[in-house]
A and B are shown apart, each in its own frame.
Chain A
């Protein structure tokens, strides 16, 4: 039962092969037995999970079950969950029991989902390895000496390790796609504005986007059906009808036009990754797609622009953590300024403080034009690159990351080296378009991710292409030794 996908589990529940309570208990047992090695959960909500499962079984008995009723998932600990600690991976919110639900949580509750708990993450979603978590790093199930990627590393590790069939993530510069690639699972960053940001603790508001993570593209579609939609509580939510993402999964790929950006196939990429990605693209050709080389000439500017825009927005967003209304407060402050400075100095970790300082500097008097305005202009150049290429092709493909999972501690002393791991994912957040990572092979026993990029609101297209690839291959069915 625990080896099934969400789609398979939904069938099992509908056919009465097992109840949601049985299913939920099995996952809870497995988490208890095996998460010690992975550290993929920050909080396991056993009691709530079983009561949600019971409610789901009753709902099914009453004939009122929907497609997601009774399915167990987990949520990245960035989504505010009423009555449950929502830490965002930070000491700052270690004591924060959220008084309300994020819209994404509400949507899953309404669908009758069961939440097993909250998954580990880089502190405030700032990181590419999960090592900035206050709760210690989650570990990669393929090799527990390696990072699972980040920031949604706990969600990716839990899915790859078989502790949960699906989980939510968020992606500001690659935080769904990069850990999905490093852990050998499937993850989707939707178009900016497709999934509500309400109650999703803000890092860089103009880039943040929640999305699904699971083993298969079909499971991503099932989850996105629940997550996507207009939300008046999110001022940048897009008011556009949501299709049923499962209906187009089986469309033919005949005539699909794939663009391969030459900038994504340089010599600096691990040659094994390039080889696996090229083999995957051959598979798409066998499925009827055509391929052409394209160019995204401003790609190299994405990381520089991101490391102004994201820290600038973060320095503003994180100013709310001041020790006054919620979160960490230092002991015995002598005055208000001392309370602000020590609460923030003690409550935030190193990487968060670095980014707050970069952002503060970039927005400080006299530097705004040189940094923030410049970065927003570069952002438009990057967006235009994608707009131009996606006028010619349907999907852009390339590697999700330049390297497979790296060792814990390998890049922690050099922030800039860590930032470079997101070289292929960051530009998409700047452009606001959707992207996926799907497993497409292995390099030295570690998973390799293929990235698929589509135009605004092309999630159906991406999921369709990914699903067809997964019908023809079995990379997504590989699981690490238990």
Chain B
């Protein structure tokens, strides 16, 4: 599986990653090598094999729907890049 510049740009956009223009070629090569490595899987017939998501095939544990955490907004916002009046600030989204 070989990826070209356009593929890398598309994937980087989907992942919301800014990639420097001069690095795209190297990413294309490295990602292609990684995909070549994983393509060994395609030689194996897995038609009747159930996909394994958890080693013990455990299911999601449920809990009673009740309040278990107090309001820690101010405490948690101490590490935020930009906050005003208890709200996270981001660049303007709507004109």
B partners with A: yes
Contact between A345 and B18 (Cβ–Cβ < 8 Å)? yes
Contact between A336 and B91 (Cβ–Cβ < 8 Å)? yes
Interface residues of B in 1-47 (CB under 8 A from A): 3, 7-8, 11-12, 14-20, 27, 30-31, 33-35, 37-42, 44, 46
Q: Is B50 an interface residue (CB 8 A)?
A: yes
A360 to B16, CA, bound (A): 10
**With A96-B79, A326-B80, A339-B91 as given contacts, are A193 and B56 in contact (CB-CB < 8 Å)?**
yes
Question: Across the interface, which residues of A come within 8 angstroms of B37, CB to CB?
Answer: 303-304, 307, 416, 419
> DSSP class of B's interface residues: helix, strand, loop or mixed?
loop
Convert A321-344 into 0s and 1s, putting 1 for each residue whose CB lies closer than 8 angstroms to a CB of B. 011111101000111111111101
Interface centre among B12, B17, B51, B53 (most CB of A within 10 A): B17
Contact between B92 and A335 (Cβ–Cβ < 8 Å)? yes
A96 to B60, CA, bound (A): 30
> DSSP class of A's interface residues: helix, strand, loop or mixed?
helix
A419 to B79, CA, bound (A): 34
Total B residues in contact with A, Cβ cutoff 8 Å: 52
A375 to B53, CA, bound (A): 10
Contact between A357 and B63 (Cβ–Cβ < 8 Å)? no
A348 to B16, CA, bound (A): 12
Q: Specify which of B15, B56, B60, B72 is in contact with A456 (CB 8 Å cutoff).
A: B56
A146 to B39, CA, bound (A): 32
Question: Across the interface, which residues of B come within 8 angstroms of A322, CB to CB?
Answer: 16
Question: Across the interface, which residues of A come within 8 angstroms of B27, CB to CB?
Answer: 353-354, 357
Contact between A344 and B75 (Cβ–Cβ < 8 Å)? no
Q: Is A238 an interface residue (CB 8 A)?
A: yes
Q: Is B90 an interface residue (CB 8 A)?
A: yes
Question: Across the interface, which residues of B come within 8 angstroms of A236, CB to CB?
Answer: 54, 58
Q: Which residues of B contact A (CB under 8 A)?
A: 3, 7-8, 11-12, 14-20, 27, 30-31, 33-35, 37-42, 44, 46, 49-56, 58, 60-61, 63, 72, 75-82, 88, 90-93
